[in-house]
Structure formats: C-alpha cells, structure tokens
A and B are shown apart, each in its own frame.
Chain A
Amino acid sequence: MPYPPIQRVAILGLGSAGAHIVAELAADDLLAGADLAVADTDLGTLKALADSVPVQIPLGGDWTRQESCGGNATLGEKAAGAASDDLRQFFEGASLAIVACGLGKGTGAGAARVVARITRQMDITTLFVVTLPFTHEGNWRCHQAKRDLELLRTLTDAVMAIPNDLLFTTLPANTPALRGFEVVNSILAEAISGLARLPSATGILSVDFADLRGLLKERPGYCHLGVGRGNGAERWKAALEEFMRSPMIGGPETLTKADAAIITLVGATDLTVGEMQTCMTSLQQYFPSHTKLLVGTYTDPRCQDEVFLTGVLCRFQGTDGGAVRETAAAATSKTGAGKAGKAALASTAVQGELPLHEPALGYFSKAIPTICRGVNFDLPTCHRLGLALDLGQ
C-alpha cells in the first residue's frame, strides 16, 4: 500500500446540535476505534453530556459567559478561536476527522469555520456533516443556515448538508416534536458511525474519502443519509429494505431521483460473494442511468453476523430530472415552406439561441408523455420532421 493505513478517526460535535449527535454515537459500541469529543460554549450542555462523552472542549467561555451564543455565529467563531489550541490538540494524529454540527444558530456554524481552517492547516481529511434547520424553526434561521453553508463551502468542499425537513416527508404527522429531534440525532449518529467505520474495515471494494470528497466537490444541494441493518438468512434484503425505509430516505423514489450516491455494505468475514453481488445489483436497479454511483464493500470482524448498508444520496442543485424537460426544439409548427421558413433559417445562421416555442401536445397535453430516447413521441411526427403541409382552403 502506498499510504499508511488510516489509524485514528476523530469525531467532534460542535454546538448543542452536534454535541447531541455525538452523544448518541457514544452509545453505539461499534465505534470502539474512534475518538469522540464535544465542544460547545454552553457549559450546561457539556455538563449534561459528561457521562456519555468524557472528552469535552469548552469553547471560549469568556466571550459568552459560559452560555450559548444565542444565535450569533460571529460570537461562535470568536469563541472557537479562543479554544483553537484545545481543538488542535484533539485532532493531533488523526488521519480522518468527522465534524457534526447544526447550522442556523451560533456555535455550530461559527466554530465549524474555525475547525475547517485548523484541519486544513493540519492537513487532515475532514468531513462536515451539517444539519439545516426545520422550516418550522423560523424563516430567519433557515436563511442564516443557508448563508452559513455557503461560507463553510468556501473553506472546504467536503460538506454534507442534511435538511431536517426531509424527515417531514416520512415521519407521521402526529409524531411529538421532541421525538423529531431525537430521530434526526439517531439517524445522523448511525450514518456517521457507518462512515467512520470505513477506515478500520478491510476493503473488498474500496470507496474511501477521496471518492466522497470528489463527489462532494460538485456541491450537491443536499444529501440524504440512510442506514439499514439486517441479520438472519436474507440479511442483505432486510438491510436494503430498512435502508429504503430510513426516515431521511423514505422510500425508493428518492433513489430514482438521486444524481450521485455512495453506498457501502459492511459485513463480517462471512460475507459471501453472492450476497454482495445480489445486494448491489438489486440496489443499482433503483438508480437512473445517469447517476454517479460509488459502491464499496467492507468486512469488519466486529459486525458478527449482521450486515450494514450505509448510503449517502446526493442531489445537485438545478437538475429537475433531465429527460422530461427535453422539449424538442424543432417543434415549431411550420405551415408551408416559403418566407417564414427561410427567415427562420436565416436567423439561425446569425443568432446562437432561438426562443423555445411551447410545443403543442393537443389531446395528450395532460397525459404521461411517451418519451423514447429523449424524444417526446406525443408531438406530431409531421411537426418533428418539419414536413411542409399543404392545408388547402
């Protein structure tokens, strides 16, 4: 192997949101190899989590009087700056760092920027898993979160943004509100643990963080995370089904709309080739042909007889599902050759772009279009071919 194997994984939770996620992680015994820490300006939060996560980094107490930042990200940044030595010490010797925080408020967003700069200086591969607030937390917070995300993206590419709203599409409406936050934390914890386990597992088909970073470089709008586990006879099937029912994925439709995906399957040493293959082929059936799919398989002796399927699905901004919107530009109806036709031809010679005419569908305007090889066959053939029709009187 050209590079030394990844030794130490450091997972840091910033701000109260991040801290709670990491606290959930601490309960997961499969993360024996990673180092966990929480950092926050609010000493109260740190004290409450002292049992689950012993390693604690209080951030800049003097700036905030040991309380939370109250939604002020600049304050959070200054507070984290004050504690940068402690942060640096935590990351020392780590080959991989995962930072979890919630954007939209103070500490998480501000401290994340500081951590990004630190890890860049220390040359550590870092992955930021950030949550975007629920819409019901308020408009201003959502705006703030978006701004924080943009700022963070200027410092690092490897940012996975998970909107909490995704839960609304899958959790039943009568779920108690507190439970909503709990679900977010537990899913993120599971997904992070799935990702963090990769360095210590033996790769059969390796998908490492370089691949993930390459994918995230294209700035996906937001990501869906899902985890599934299964045991027993048809364990990969159970894992697959649980993965698709994951609250943030909520069904196979999300897979059919994903533009890129990283899927990892982790099993114990008794993972068979057949299982691997059937699992991956059946999973790949759900993705459209243009999806960038990275698939990795690992064995981890700590898994015993379970298999874990972790998936990150990304949707890039601005794509609305390519095929249907490919309106045939040739669908301008021409009635007879002659001046009109010639004028159109002349203008194509000069201009680069022509306005797209709304193609006429007639009877089929409300039906599911018949698209074959990117062409909408509901449009009249005579129009698509540009036939000159003599309409009589």
Chain B
Amino acid sequence: MSKRHPQTYTGIEIGTASIKVVVGQFQPDGILNLCGVAEEATNGSVVKGEIVDAKKAMEQLIVAMRRAEQTGDVQIDTDAIYLAVTGGHLHSVNSIGTVVVSNADRRITQADRENAETQAWNYHFRPDQPPVNFFNRLFRVDGIREVDNPVGLVGAKLEAEVHIVYGDRNRLDTGCKLVEEAAGQPPSAQVFSPIAAGMATFFQKEAIGKGVLVLDIGAGVTEYAVLQGGGGDLCFHTGQITVGGDHLANDLSLGLHLPFSRCRELVERLAEWNGTVMMTQDGRNRLIEITLGINDRRSIYVSTVEQILEARLKELFELIRDDLRQQGVLERIGHGVTLCGGLARLPRLEDLVKNVFEMPAEIGRVQGVSGGSAEILNAPRFITPIGLLRFGKKHREERQPQRMPLWSQIKADVGKLRSALSDAMKW
C-alpha cells in the first residue's frame, strides 16, 4: 500500500440499471472536485444487485472507466478504487464488546474503551460469510447510559456496540474480481451502498445529532441506513430489501399484461402523464395510450398504474419501517428520511414516504462537491458513487496517521537528529 496521496479517487457502483464510475480529487479544504463521470447501462447483466453475466458486465465496466477518464482527462489511480456492494446476501449484526472497568476509581480510560471496541470487532463469522464494514454504534455505561465518548466517565461496566455488515464471500469476491480484471487492481475497500450515500449527502452539514434514515431506492435493491453524528460517523442500523425499480416494472407488466420493457419506460416517464406513485382522484379520467403493434393499441387508466405502483412501494416502505421498529431504531431518527437512488425522483415519492414513516422526507443532494454538470449533481442516482469517494478518503485517513507538511517534517527530523547527537555526546 503506497503512502503517497493518490492522484485521484475512483468510485465504482455496479448497479442493476447501470454501472457508474466517478473519478475525483480532493482539495485541501475537503471539497471534492469531480473530474470524470460515466454511466453505462447494464442491459440485464446485473439483476437484483448481483452480477449474472460477468463477461458483459466487465465490458461495460471497462467502457465506463475509459469514458470517465476521457471526459475528465484524468487517469484512474488503481490504488484508490472503492466499490459499492449491494445484494440480497448482505445482512447486518450488532456486536457487543464488554469490559469491566479496571481502575480503582472506576473512571473509564482510553484503554477500556479500546478494549471494548476490540472485543466488539472480534465477532466470530462463518468463513463463507466474511464481514464487509464495521461501524461504531454507541457506548453504553452500566447497561443503561448511552454515550458517544465514555472516556472519563465513572462506571462499573462499559459496553461498545459495533454494527457489522456481512455478506456471502463468493458474491463479494465476484465484484472484486471484476474490478481487478478491469482495472488491474482489486478495489482498496468495499462499502455497503447506503453508507456511501449518507456520507455524500451529509458532508459539512452540522452533525446530525438527531439521526437520519438514508433510503437508496435502486432498480434492483432498496438499501437503507440509519446514520448519526458528523458526516454520518455513527451507523445505527443498515439493511436491504431486494425489491427495486425492476419490481415496479414487473408488477405493471404482470398486472396489466404488457411487455416488461414498455413497463420500464412507463415507470421512467411517469411524470409525462402526470402520473404519481399515489393514487389520485382524477387519475380515472386520464388514459395512457400504449401501442404494442400495428393493430394492437391499449388504453390504460392512469389510476390503475398508480394503484399498482402505490401498492408495491407502500409494501416496501412498510417492510423497512417494521424492521426499524423491531430493531428499536425508529425512534432514533429525528431528522427525517433522505431519498437517494435512481427512483428517488418518482413523482410524489416523498409524500408516500412521509405517509408511511410519519416523518419529513426529502430528496438527497450531494454536499461539498464541485465540478461535474448540474445534471449529475442533481441526479439522486449518482449520490452513492460520489459518496464512495468520501468513504475512500476517510478509509485512507483512518489507515494512516496524518502526514505533516514537509517543512514541519524537516524541522521535526532535525530536532530528532540534534537530540540523538546530544545523547551520543553524553557518553
């Protein structure tokens, strides 16, 4: 692992609808400068977040990477590639590490905190289901008090909770091998998508003390994460439901007896017919004309389309809400819901989310990003790939201590030399 700063950071998301590659550089103040962005449709090589046609997916990935390099006139630094993971095989677990406070005065020390964290990180996984990401959740003192930083407090027992995402080894490796073949090197790290989405939308916003739910609604999978803290530092819960935009199209196709591809179009162009994802009163008065063949023309009520979509999306959100309630994290969401992903822009989706979750909802926007066209900065489907770059930077910084600027380093080295010489003289 080279210690130099990478020239560019690259984020790759192999999504169900398209493969997205984003290349960017970080300015010293933390602003992310987007250099190259490319998107390549998958045309069925990825289904429900999992790669089903590796050959086709690789060709598409290579095309996307080349195009990202060309449009931005940059080179992808293969040391800093970050991959988003998704799929039905991902699950999460909260691991708890417990220490009994050792000090006589019962004050919790840094060592206690680190011990508890280490224990929590040592959750035993099956060899075929390795962990993907670890996130600090919270510390608990004496089983009752929840704190962000326990050092210095008085207590008898300290528990550290860590939220761990894990998945099937073979499916995770499929993505890694694909990137390795396309770019020459495997990704430096992988991260569960909604975390990346959260990092992109909450950069530089004041610390989200109240907790936010990030919903990433894609074509294949809907992922969600409950985040808190500055820049989404703390993650309380993550999850995924393997239902997405393709299910909407499939529902329409089977419910209305229309071909699947036309239904996909229907969902994408819903706004053109003033259709929404919630049944409206005047929907019965409007018809959608669909031409299937020379003599085959169908007129479908907009309200029927809305009914099918609303049923599916409502069910999906209710599943998520029930899971959050069961895990006890629904109360932690004070800020509301942020929508990301390709389907976030469906007409009136925020209203449906507001109804089901009973909290404010808004479409996410990337923060602290420059460069890139307005279209890309406003498109919710690029939130996750852009977030991958933020994750990558954080990941690198945590692996290596901060490097001092060159001048201070020279001064420090000279200082060390001087003291070494004076020690030698003493002999």
Chain A interfacial positions (CB closer than 8 Å to B) = 252, 278, 281-282, 285-286, 333, 360-364, 367-368, 370, 372, 377-378, 380-383, 385, 387, 389-393
| Interface pair B48/A367, CB less than 8 Å apart | yes
Chain B residue nearest in CB terms to A278: B124
| Interface pair B250/A362, CB less than 8 Å apart | yes
| Interface pair A382/B307, CB less than 8 Å apart | yes
Chain B residue nearest in CB terms to A333: B254
Q: Which of B201-209, B295-303, B341-349 contacts A (4 or more CB under 8 A)?
A: B295-303
**Complexed CA–CA distance, A279 and B228 (Å):** 36
Given A363-B253, A372-B319, A389-B255: A382 in contact with B308 (beta carbons within 8 A): yes
Given A380-B308, A382-B312, A387-B307: A360 in contact with B254 (beta carbons within 8 A): yes
| Interface pair A362/B307, CB less than 8 Å apart | no
Output the residue of A286, A333, A393 with the most chain B CB within 10 A: A393
| Interface pair B126/A252, CB less than 8 Å apart | yes
Q: Is residue B147 within 8 Å, beta carbon to beta carbon, of the partner chain?
A: no
| Interface pair A378/B250, CB less than 8 Å apart | yes
| Interface pair B243/A370, CB less than 8 Å apart | yes
Interface size class of B (residues with CB under 8 A): 35 or more
Q: Is residue B128 within 8 Å, beta carbon to beta carbon, of the partner chain?
A: yes
**Could you list some 5 contacts between A and B, CB below 8 A?**
A252-B126, A361-B250, A362-B253, A383-B255, A391-B300
| Interface pair A282/B126, CB less than 8 Å apart | yes
How many Å from the CB of A95 to the closest CB on chain B?
Answer: 38
| Interface pair B304/A391, CB less than 8 Å apart | yes
Chain A residue nearest in CB terms to B251: A380
How many Å from the CB of B231 to the closest CB on chain A?
Answer: 32
| Interface pair A362/B304, CB less than 8 Å apart | no
Q: Is residue B329 within 8 Å, beta carbon to beta carbon, of the partner chain?
A: no
Chain A residue nearest in CB terms to B284: A390
How many Å from the CB of A362 to the closest CB on chain B?
Answer: 5
Query: Can you name 9 extra interface pairs (CB under 8 A) apart from A362-B260, A363-B253, A377-B247?
Result: A278-B124, A363-B260, A364-B246, A368-B50, A372-B241, A381-B311, A382-B308, A389-B304, A390-B301
Which residues from A are CB-within-8-Å of B304? 389-392
Chain B interfacial positions (CB closer than 8 Å to A) = 47-48, 50, 52, 88, 124, 126, 128, 241-243, 246-247, 249-251, 253-257, 260, 287, 298-301, 303-304, 307-308, 311-312, 315, 319
How many Å from the CB of B261 to the closest CB on chain A?
Answer: 10
Select one of A281, A285, A364, A372 contacting B250, CB under 8 A.
Answer: A364
How many Å from the CB of A375 to the closest CB on chain B?
Answer: 10
How many Å from the CB of B17 to the closest CB on chain A?
Answer: 13
Select one of B254, B299, B311 contacting A393, CB under 8 A.
Answer: B299
Which residues from A are CB-within-8-Å of B255? 333, 380, 382-383, 389
How many Å from the CB of B223 to the closest CB on chain A?
Answer: 13
**Complexed CA–CA distance, A390 and B305 (Å):** 10
Which residues from B are CB-within-8-Å of A370? 48, 88, 241-243
How many Å from the CB of B285 to the closest CB on chain A?
Answer: 12
Which residues from A are CB-within-8-Å of B300? 391-392
**Complexed CA–CA distance, A381 and B312 (Å):** 5
**Complexed CA–CA distance, A90 and B23 (Å):** 80
**Complexed CA–CA distance, A278 and B124 (Å):** 8
**Complexed CA–CA distance, A281 and B304 (Å):** 50
Which residues from B are CB-within-8-Å of A281? 124
Which residues from B are CB-within-8-Å of A364? 47-48, 246-247, 250
How many Å from the CB of B422 to the closest CB on chain A?
Answer: 47
The list of the 8 closest CB pairs from A to B, nearest first, reads A380-B251, A370-B242, A381-B312, A381-B311, A363-B250, A362-B250, A392-B300, A362-B254
Which residues from B are CB-within-8-Å of A392? 287, 298-301, 304
Which residues from A are CB-within-8-Å of B88? 368, 370
How many Å from the CB of A281 to the closest CB on chain B?
Answer: 7
Which residues from B are CB-within-8-Å of A363? 246, 249-250, 253, 260
How many Å from the CB of B246 to the closest CB on chain A?
Answer: 6
| Interface pair B48/A368, CB less than 8 Å apart | yes
| Interface pair B251/A391, CB less than 8 Å apart | no
Given A282-B126, A372-B241, A389-B256: A381 in contact with B307 (beta carbons within 8 A): no
Chain A residue nearest in CB terms to B312: A381
**Complexed CA–CA distance, A389 and B52 (Å):** 33
**Complexed CA–CA distance, A392 and B300 (Å):** 5
**Complexed CA–CA distance, A393 and B315 (Å):** 28
Which residues from B are CB-within-8-Å of A389? 255-256, 304, 307-308
How many Å from the CB of A148 to the closest CB on chain B?
Answer: 38
| Interface pair A378/B298, CB less than 8 Å apart | no
Chain A residue nearest in CB terms to B319: A372
**Complexed CA–CA distance, A278 and B319 (Å):** 33
Given A360-B254, A368-B88, A378-B250: A387 in contact with B126 (beta carbons within 8 A): no
**Complexed CA–CA distance, A361 and B246 (Å):** 12
**Complexed CA–CA distance, A84 and B260 (Å):** 73
Chain A residue nearest in CB terms to B244: A370
**Complexed CA–CA distance, A389 and B48 (Å):** 27
How many Å from the CB of B124 to the closest CB on chain A?
Answer: 5
How many Å from the CB of B53 to the closest CB on chain A?
Answer: 12
How many Å from the CB of A345 to the closest CB on chain B?
Answer: 21
Which residues from B are CB-within-8-Å of A362? 250, 253-254, 260
Which residues from B are CB-within-8-Å of A278? 124
How many Å from the CB of A117 to the closest CB on chain B?
Answer: 46
Which residues from B are CB-within-8-Å of A381? 251, 308, 311-312, 315
**Complexed CA–CA distance, A278 and B256 (Å):** 53
Chain A residue nearest in CB terms to B308: A382
How many Å from the CB of B278 to the closest CB on chain A?
Answer: 14
How many Å from the CB of A213 to the closest CB on chain B?
Answer: 31
Chain B residue nearest in CB terms to A380: B251
| Interface pair A383/B254, CB less than 8 Å apart | yes
Chain B residue nearest in CB terms to A253: B128
Which residues from B are CB-within-8-Å of A285? 126
How many Å from the CB of A258 to the closest CB on chain B?
Answer: 15
Which residues from B are CB-within-8-Å of A282? 124, 126
How many Å from the CB of A101 to the closest CB on chain B?
Answer: 37
| Interface pair A391/B50, CB less than 8 Å apart | no
**Complexed CA–CA distance, A367 and B250 (Å):** 13
How many Å from the CB of A361 to the closest CB on chain B?
Answer: 8
Select one of A367, A368, A378, A391 contacting B256, CB under 8 A.
Answer: A391
Given A282-B126, A363-B246: A393 in contact with B298 (beta carbons within 8 A): yes
How many Å from the CB of A193 to the closest CB on chain B?
Answer: 28
Chain A residue nearest in CB terms to B256: A391
**Complexed CA–CA distance, A387 and B315 (Å):** 13
| Interface pair B48/A382, CB less than 8 Å apart | no
| Interface pair A380/B241, CB less than 8 Å apart | no
How many Å from the CB of A286 to the closest CB on chain B?
Answer: 7
Which residues from A are CB-within-8-Å of B315? 377, 381
